[in-house]
Amino acid sequence: MTCQFYTFQSAFLGGDYWCDAENKRVNDDIYYRYCRNYSYDECPVYKKYANSGSGCYLTTIVCKVLGHEDQHPVLNTMRNFRDQVLQQQEEYYPILNDYDHIGPIIAMKIDHDPQKQILSKLYYDYYLIPVTKCIEQNDYTLAVQIYTHMTQSLICRYHLQEIYHHMKENSIKESFCPKTAGHGLVKK
């Protein structure tokens, strides 16, 4: 498996060897030395960013940035919703699959954002609390709409549209397992 930060991007964005951690094109030397040859654990960029987060951007916002405990009510509600609703209904599988693929990149971007404190407080107040309230009122359709808007907003903030579309086109559907989906997979 390749480095969790390596993404193939079109030449439109400056080249096909792209590092999501540094948000820039990887030069040929680095690509051939680390990315292509699966030696990414020796890569200085990988070493710098690999252990910077959980891969779950919700946990990054609530715990890592805002300082709440991992068993915070918002996270527990979201986890229960994932386990009891999203993982049980096929119509929600794409949301879980997306979260597993783009979530770790968003988590890393939030963690390295100089405005992460303000950003996390805004997303907590304007997205996570309303999603939680919708879930508690069994309004799952609205909860999913708000959550999806939040995710799309973060994808736009961090200019991840091309990466996101590439992931959607190339995510391996056969390996999707609903019982384990929705955790923000960190590729190793």
pLDDT tens string 142-159:
999 999 999 999 999 988
pLDDT over 50 (residue 49): yes
Q: pLDDT: is 79 or 31 the higher one?
A: 79
Choose the most confident range, by mean pLDDT, from 17-26, 33-42, 68-77, 179-188.
68-77
Q: pLDDT: is 31 or 95 the higher one?
A: 95
Using left for φ > 0, alpha for ψ between -120 and 50, and beta otherwise, residue 53 falls in beta
pLDDT over 50 (residue 188): no
Choose the most confident range, by mean pLDDT, from 27-31, 78-82, 117-121, 173-177.
117-121
Residues recorded for the chain: 188
The DSSP letter of residue 9 is -
pLDDT at residue 172, rounded to an integer: 53
Instruction: Provide the mean pLDDT of the chain.
Output: 80
pLDDT at residue 78, rounded to an integer: 93
Cβ atoms of 19 and 116 closer than 8 Å = no
